[in-house]
Amino acid sequence: MTYQALARKWRPRLFEQLVGQEHIVAALTHALDSDRVHHGFLFAGTRGIGKTTLARILAKCLNCETGVGSKPCNECHACQSIDEGRFMDLIEVDAASRTQVADTRELLDNVQYAPTTGRFKVYLIDEVHMLSAHSFNALLKTLEEPPPHVKFLFATTDPQKVPVTVLSRCLQFNLKLLQLDQIQDQLKRILDSESVEFEDEAVRLLARSAQGSMRDSLSLLDQAIAQGNGRVTAETARKMLGLIEADYVRDLMEALVRTDTGAVFGIIDSIAQRSSAYTQILDDLLSQLFYLALYKRDPELLEAKQELAPWHPSVAEQLKDEDLQLFYQIALIGKRDLPYSPDPRTGFEMVMLRLLAFQPNCLTDSPASHVEKRKMAREAENGQIAERAPAHPPSTASETTVDWHELARQLSLTGWVQELAMNLALRSRENGVWLFELNPQYEHLVNDERVGAVSKAISGHLGAQIEIKIQLSEPDTETPVQSVERKKSEKQKQAEQAIKNDPEVQDLIEQFDATLMEDSIRSRQ
């Protein structure tokens, strides 16, 4: 019998089987059961969290032979055909490979005709943001006045690239990244059902490496089962993911705190025998520095994340907040510069030497030492750390003027965390606490993990501990994303005006009765 990948075998077939998207399931269930189904839906979110799965379940709900409702029978011809990918009235398109307007027009040629076997003709367009501008224009006409037997289901990982004219004609649902415990629980349920032995630590490592994606976690689980000969162990997971044992990171941190150069390089020799993924090792070290900083601020938060290790309290007691911030900044810069080193190990060892050079708790609080701390913090921020006397950055950021728009664009953020940061408007800063305003329409972007990630990024960039608070209210000032869009719009208008005023263009219009297609003008960004 052909083996079926876990991601396909355990793909949800009903709304209640979906993990972590309860807010969307509740809305769709109400719409279906009350017979108030919109003609267009947009499912947005990162990869592997259920966008196309939701769309396919919705297609079954609309075409189930038992009637429209939130619980398809999964037994009729329509339900089974949709599950097997052979339902004629579910037209699935990958927009990434069909971006041209001719493809879209061909797709829509049959919209006017009634469904072949189902109740509705459903168009599922994945990565819809990849369509060209002309393709969107061709689609827009049908989306404005769709036949009653047609439903459009769009999925995208980048909703900001979808024209507002399309967004305004769809119900938009933003899928959440799955939490670590949600992925862990689902993996354990699957392993129990598959009668596969596993270690809890292995499941935690796989879930964390998936970074919020259920599909990625199942792919990793498949790989771990194969490499572990039918068992999922922590050792197999670490080797597969390029991770080192937690003991090595602990020993490395303790040696760094003691400034024991011999011990540090002895540990590096041991690590090198097991792994050469030095970028991943720095990631592990950065994670532990984050956990130590979090422990010093609030131990209960670390316990809630299920990441508290027995050695965290003792090491945290030996480090000040500013020590941890400087260590984190040095390691982060070292990870960035690793590809430019003569070889990965040399680059990694140089990062360790930098960490050893800045011995914690060795400076007094004299005025001169404070000057030196600020100077070293600036050098750390700019990647200009020299091998010399140790120093620490201040525990809170300087309250001088900060260009939040520029800073938000410089932060190394991605996905929903970046979207949250770009929609924040800085209202005030005082004693290391930054208060932001966020339009209530973006409330769905806010959760503890994303807020913590933004705070962590700002702190790392400035070399100082920053706490952020978010107030849901209409911002009085421009947000970074609004600033970007305004500048882009201004450049576009300048480009259009330059083309319109161009003498050669005016001559062409006059001589040939030509028409200037303004939507074809693009500014040079």
- Quick one: which of 463, 333, 298 has its CA closest to 395? 463
Backbone angles phi, psi at 403, to 5 degrees: -85, 95
> Could you tell me if 166 and 208 lie in one domain?
no
Residue 314 lies in a domain: yes
Q: Which of 381, 416, 451 is the last residue of a domain?
A: 381
Q: Are residues 214 and 329 in the same domain?
A: no
Residue 391 lies in a domain: no
- Report residues of the chain scoring pLDDT below 70: 1-2, 99, 359-401, 512, 514, 516-525
Q: Which helix (H) or strand (E) holds 424?
A: strand 424-430
User: Do both 169 and 212 map to the same domain?
Assistant: no
Single-letter residue type at 197: E
Contact between 489 and 522 under an 8 Å Cβ cutoff? The reply is no
Residue 507's domain spans which residues? 480-520
Pair 362, 465 in one domain: no
Instruction: Find the CATH number of the domain harbouring 199.
Output: 1.10.8.60
Joined together, the tokens standing for residue 504 give 């050669």
- Please indicate, yes or no, whether the overall pTM of this predicted structure exceeds 0.85: no
CATH code for position 280: 1.20.272.10
Q: What letter does residue 132 receive in the DSSP assignment? A: -
Q: Same domain for 279 and 418?
A: no
Residues 514 and 432 in one domain: no
The answer on 318 and 210 residing in a single domain is: no
Q: Hey, what are 508's tokens?
A: 């062409």
Instruction: Using CB atoms within 10 Å of the CB of residue 237, give its burial: 0 to 12 exposed, 13 to 18 middle, 19+ buried.
Output: buried
Does residue 121 sit in helix, strand or coil? strand
- The domain that holds 448 is classified in CATH as 3.30.300.150
What secondary structure letter does DSSP report for 216? Answer: H
Phi, psi (5° rounding) for residue 437?
A: -105, 140
209 and 267 in a single domain? The answer is no
DSSP conformation class of 14: S
- Please report whether residue 18 resides in a domain: yes
396: in domain: no
Asked if residue 155 and residue 35 are part of one domain, the reply reads yes
Residue for token pair 């429209």 = 68
- 389 found inside a domain: no
Domain count along the chain: 5
Chain centroid to CA 218: how far? 18
Tell me, yes or no, whether 283 lies in a domain. Answer: yes
Residue 96 lies in a domain: yes
Residue 456 falls inside a structural domain: yes
Residue 270 sits in the same domain as residue 147 = no
* Statement to judge: residues 257 and 126 lie in one domain: no
Cα 461 vs. chain centroid, distance in angstroms?
A: 19
- Alpha helical stretches, state H, 298-386: 299-304, 312-317, 321-337, 344-357, 367-381
Residue 525: the pLDDT is 53
Task: Single out the residue in 347, 381, 415 at which a domain terminates.
Answer: 381
Task: Report whether 101 contacts 138 (CB < 8 A).
Answer: yes
Beta bridge partners of 437: 425, 471
CA nearest neighbour of 181 among 161, 203, 196: 203
Instruction: Indicate which CATH number applies to the domain containing 155.
Output: 3.40.50.300
pLDDT at 395: 40
The 8-class DSSP code of residue 302 comes to H
The verdict on 429 and 294 lying in the same domain is no
